Structure 1
Amino acid sequence: MSNNCKALQDTELKKFPLYCPKCRQENLIEIKQFKVTVITEPDAKTQSR
């Protein structure tokens, strides 16, 4: 199954979930003026006792 999308010059995406079937991971991305940025959020920190 293929899902083709087109971005125009004025297309903006914020916190868009992009799934990679090869790595089986989902990343959040932002697109603004043809610039794609992967959003990296810090992992939840474990609490030490």
Structure 2
Amino acid sequence: MEATKWILCPICGRKTHNKIREDTEMKKFPLYCPKCKQETLVDVERFIVSVCKENI
């Protein structure tokens, strides 16, 4: 069974509605946080979530 984790909001640190697996890779993913109501572009690779420097 693959390991999964919830993506945490980079702004408030709370759990979002998205889950990722260890082999998940995303570029410029628009992550929406239902708690702080912010949308942030993130890059995900091997459970590491980083804020994308380029804002569209």
Percent identity of equivalent pairs: 52
Moved over 3 A (4+): none
Larger Rg: 1
Length, aligned pairs only: 40
Q: How does 1:6-45 map to 2 (within 5 A)?
A: 6-41=19-54
TM value normalised by structure 1 = 0.58
* Structure 2 length-normalised TM: 0.53
Report the RMSD for the aligned CA atoms in angstroms. 2.2
Whichever structure has more strand as a proportion of its residues is: 2
Unaligned 5+ residue runs, structure 1?
A: 43-49
